[in-house]
Amino acid sequence: MIAVRNLSAGKRLAGKMLVKKLNMQVMGGEMLAVVGANGAGKTTLLRLLCSELEPEEGEIMLYGKPLGAYRPEELSRKRAVLSQHNTISLSFAVEELVLMGRYPHFARQPGRDDMLAVRNAMEETGITHLRGRAYNTLSGGEQQRVQLARVLAQVSDVRGGCLFLDEPTVGLDLLHQQQTLALARKMADRGYCVVSILHDLNLAGRYADKVLVMKQGEAIAFGDPLDVLNCEVIHQAFNIQVKLMPCEDFRCPLVVPIS
């Protein structure tokens, strides 16, 4: 579980706070979608949550312990991160690359459970047929799914681990967008704490338990998507007029831009 209290950061990096006095909490078994316009501080927040940046004010607690108190190795066995940009410099085979997700768990040679985690992750992301291919010969969407498989393999046998996803659906086709988020949802249902940056409000409403709306580094709304994703909040965050259209198959109404 993750608890963020009064979190601010960015002054050292950018000269002004990119995340300002932010409060939020995600429990195990929950999926949080972070939404907001470009430059709202979503990625900075995610980088803070995965300990890439240090908080300048406030604190982040992971399982009741300050994030800064974890050693990198310890952290790598608890949480996995899917970054937005994944270019690799050398051409690894797909299976080798997914196996890198298991590096935190084995010292020299991968054990049977490591290979099992790799196999499961490749199946869940639908890349088993690509296992022997060189990563650099894959399409952008396929590469994205390989990275997702690596990230899943990293925490697949960690009870109540955390999963941080930075725009996991970018570059994916319609089917794989749905599959990726269904997978994230499934991980949450299995007890993981999932935090994902999303641009598509409809995807956020459909898959997330909680939505955090950010604007200029501040949280302007946080809570159940049904309460949070309304016309005023969306207008405030994105500066666009939208219409909410109820849809009988979904809990949340669809968000449709009208101007």
Partner 1 sequence: MEISYEDLLQIMRHELGLAASPAALEKGPVLMVIRLPRIVLGILAGASLGLSGAALQGLFRNPLAEPGLIGISSGAALFATATIVLGNSILSGFSEMTGYYGLMLAAFAGAGLCAFAVYRMAVSRGRAVVALLLLAGIAINALSGAFTGMLTYLSTNEQLRSITFWMLGSLGGASWQTVTALLPFTIVPLLLLPLLARSLNAFSLGEQQAFHLGVRTGRVKRSVLLLSTMAVGATVAVSGVIGFIGLVIPHILRMGVGADHRLILPGSALLGAIVLLLSDLFSRTIVAPAELPIGIVTAVVGCPLFIYIIFRERGKNYI
Report the residue number, 137 or 239, with the smaller CB distance to partner 1: 137
> Does residue 52 interact with partner 1 by CB under 8 A?
yes
Report the residue number, 121 or 233, with the smaller CB distance to partner 1: 121
Give the binding range for partner 1 (CB under 8 A) out of 16-24, 92-100, 177-185, 200-208.
92-100
3-class secondary-structure state, position 173 = coil
Nearest approach, Cβ of residue 9 and partner 1 (Å): 14
Report the residue number, 100 or 116, with the smaller CB distance to partner 1: 100
> Does residue 115 interact with partner 1 by CB under 8 A?
no
Q: How many CA atoms lie within 13 A of 114 on its CB side?
A: 18
> Does residue 3 interact with partner 1 by CB under 8 A?
no
Q: State whether the Cα torsion 160-164-167-172 is positive or negative.
A: negative
> Does residue 168 interact with partner 1 by CB under 8 A?
no
For the beta carbon of residue 187, count every other beta carbon within 10 angstroms.
Answer: 23
**Residues in Cβ contact with 158 at an 8 Å cutoff, skipping those fewer than 6 apart:** 77, 78
> Does residue 101 interact with partner 1 by CB under 8 A?
yes
Pair 95, 131: CB distance under 8 Å: yes
> Does residue 100 interact with partner 1 by CB under 8 A?
yes
Q: Name the region of 252 (left: φ>0; alpha: ψ -120 to 50; beta: rest).
A: beta
**Euclidean distance between CA atoms 33 and 208, whole angstroms:** 6
Distances (CA, A) of 121 to 93, 97, 124, 251: 15, 12, 5, 29
> Does residue 53 interact with partner 1 by CB under 8 A?
no
Pair 207, 184: CB distance under 8 Å: yes
> Does residue 90 interact with partner 1 by CB under 8 A?
yes
Burial class, 152, CB count within 10 angstroms (exposed 0-12 / middle 13-18 / buried 19+) = buried
Nearest approach, Cβ of residue 155 and partner 1 (Å): 11
Report the residue number, 187 or 204, with the smaller CB distance to partner 1: 187
Give the binding range for partner 1 (CB under 8 A) out of 34-42, 90-98, 191-199, 227-235.
90-98
Nearest approach, Cβ of residue 71 and partner 1 (Å): 8
Q: What residues make contact with partner 1 under the rule CB under 8 A? A: 12, 50, 52, 72-77, 79-81, 83, 85-93, 96-97, 100-101, 103-104, 134, 136-137, 150, 154
